[in-house]
Amino acid sequence: MLLHRLTHMLSCQDASRLLSQMQDRPLFVREWVKLRLHLAVCNACSRFAEQLRFLRRAMKAYRG
């Protein structure tokens, strides 16, 4: 049961939401594990993750 819950794959849409939310709240361990598993096999979401991190750095730079 636990194994099933941990390995149930996220969709890209779910992964993108978690990637945004992790900038605003700590993820639960099960969310984090699922997200890592997804990112390990998904180039598009890995790129999205990098770009969200860049967006945050850009807003810091915007502020000066």
Partner 1 sequence: MPDAEFTNQLEQHRGYLMRVAHLQLRDPDVAEDAVQETLLAALAGSGFSGKSSLRTWLTGILKHKIVDAIRRKQRDAVPVATLLGTGGDANIDDLDGLFREDGAWDSAPAPWGNPEDALAQRQFFDVMDMCLDKLPAATARVFVMREVLELETDEICKELAITANNLWVILYRARVALRICLEQNWFAGQARG
Please report, as ranges, the residues that interact with partner 1 according to CB under 8 A.
11-14, 16-17, 20-21, 23-25, 44-45, 47-48, 50-52, 54-64
What's the closest the beta carbon of residue 46 comes to partner 1, in angstroms?
9
Q: Which is nearer to partner 1, 4 or 63 (CB)?
A: 63
| DSSP symbol at 4 | H
Q: Cα 57 vs. chain centroid, distance in angstroms?
A: 17
On whether the CB atoms of residues 49 and 20 are closer than 8 A, the answer is no
Q: What is the smallest separation between the CB atom of 30 and partner 1, expressed in angstroms?
A: 17
How far is the C-alpha of 15 from the C-alpha of 42, rounded, in Å? 10
